[in-house]
Amino acid sequence: MSEHPRDRYDLVPDVAAEEAFLDALNRGRLHHAWLLCGVEGSGKATFAYRAARRLLGAAPDLTRGPLGTAPYDPVSQLVSAQSHPDLLVMERLVEGGKQKKTISVDQARDLPGFFAKSPSQAQYRVAIIDAADDLNINAANALLKILEEPPERGVLLLVTHPPGRLLATIRSRCRRLSFPIWTPDQLETLVRNRTGADPEDARLAADMAGGSPGAALALSSGAMQEVDALARSWVLGDSVDRTEQLAVADGFRGAEGQARFEALMDRLIAAVKVRALEAPAGQGARWAELWTRLAELPDRTAAINLDRADVLAGALADIARTKALR
């Protein structure tokens, strides 16, 4: 499992965005609501936590970027432990092992009470909404009421992937910061510097990450080797451990989860192809047919937004059926 954005200290998503936010803070012109825009995985949530730590009083550590703080700072430790009294995080809840599709109005109704209180340990109270596009219509309207009457000493950080999905009245009340996707060269450098991966592994992770720094780190050399070994064991071994399968599928959420899913499917497809080529006479055709079916899954999953965990379960069931045929 890769780092959560709240635990990232050395990854600077975008220097220009951090400098713009810091300039507004230092000049006493900090807007009450910030819309953090960019493709999924471009570092917006990481920025939100970096900004929150500074607003909550963590000591600056400029060796870690304009909004840098140290992980051992008491404020940082409270944020990492999800126990800072002046920070509220709203995201889709997980129930029964599955993440809900929206942020509910019941969650959004926590905002007025949260901002009605004075900061207890800092100069500001901060709310992070990750992601604002996940708000259902009633939750979005509840947020709008907060934006229409900005809280004193309160700051909202709204992560959004396609900002056009938000109500125009919400967008118009926020200051916008845009986060560009990272180039493969930038991602390769990041992976090599952070993980010590060799150039070939770093480039592979960069190419599969879809412009996401977090995804590139999640797919660094050690992670890729683990994915490859897992795929081979599922295809070449006798059976799949159900607990292991569920644990893997649990990591499929978000941009980094998409990269992990795509990497795992790529390795599964490659392992099935090897088995098709090495299968005894009479079995090769079945494995070749399976390879053809699996090869179509990643594109179909993205095109019609299939549940990645369900796609993996279906692929493994198809592999098991092919193994059972003699």
**DSSP letters spanning 287-321:** HHHHHHHHHHHHHHHHHTT--HHHHHHHHHHHHHH
Report d(CA 141, CA 150) in Å as an integer: 14
Note whether 267 and 228 are within 8 A (CB). Answer: yes
Domains and CATH numbers, the chain: 5-178 (3.40.50.300), 220-324 (1.20.272)
Report d(CA 245, CA 228) in Å as an integer: 14
Both structure tokens of 251: 């990591």
Report d(CA 68, CA 47) in Å as an integer: 10
Note whether 2 and 217 are within 8 A (CB). Answer: yes
Please give the full DSSP string across 86-143, using - where no structure is assigned. Answer: TEEEE---EETTEE-SSB-HHHHTHHHHHHHSPPSSSS-EEEEEETGGGB-HHHHHHH
Cis amide bond preceding 131, omega within 30: yes
pLDDT of residue 247: 84
Q: Is 198 exposed, middle or buried (0-12, 13-18, 19+ CB in 10 A)?
A: exposed
Percent residues over pLDDT 70 in the chain: 97
pLDDT of residue 69: 97
Residue 1 has pLDDT above 70, yes or no: no
The 10s digit of each residue's pLDDT in 110-126 is 999 999 999 999 999 99
Residue 303 has pLDDT above 90, yes or no: no
pLDDT of residue 86: 98
Segment 199-213 shows an average pLDDT of: 83
| Alpha-carbon torsion (141, 144, 149, 155), positive or negative | positive
The 10s digit of each residue's pLDDT in 217-272 is 877 756 777 888 888 899 988 788 888 888 888 878 776 777 788 888 888 998 99
pLDDT of residue 255: 65
Which has more pLDDT, 32 or 266?
Answer: 32
Spell out where the chain has E strands: 33-37, 87-90, 94-95, 98-99, 125-130, 154-160, 175-178
Report d(CA 46, CA 318) in Å as an integer: 38
According to DSSP, residue 170 is labeled H
pLDDT band at 74 (very low <50, low <70, confident <90, very high): very high
- Is 129 strand, coil or helix? strand
Report d(CA 197, CA 34) in Å as an integer: 36
Residue 3 has pLDDT above 80, yes or no: no
Which has more pLDDT, 255 or 286?
Answer: 286
Residue 58 has pLDDT above 90, yes or no: yes
The per-residue pLDDT of the chain, averaged, comes to 89
The Cβ of residue 238 has, within 10 Å, a number of other Cβ atoms equal to 7
Both structure tokens of 122: 């800092």
Report d(CA 206, CA 255) in Å as an integer: 13
Expressed in angstroms, the distance from the first to the final Cα of the chain is 37
pLDDT of residue 178: 93
Segment 173-187 shows an average pLDDT of: 93
- Rounded to 10 degrees, the C-alpha dihedral 206/210/215/220 comes to -20
Segment 141-168 shows an average pLDDT of: 92
Both structure tokens of 117: 């209180």
pLDDT of residue 222: 67
Which has more pLDDT, 242 or 83?
Answer: 83
Percent residues over pLDDT 90 in the chain: 56
Report d(CA 44, CA 42) in Å as an integer: 6
Which has more pLDDT, 97 or 294?
Answer: 294
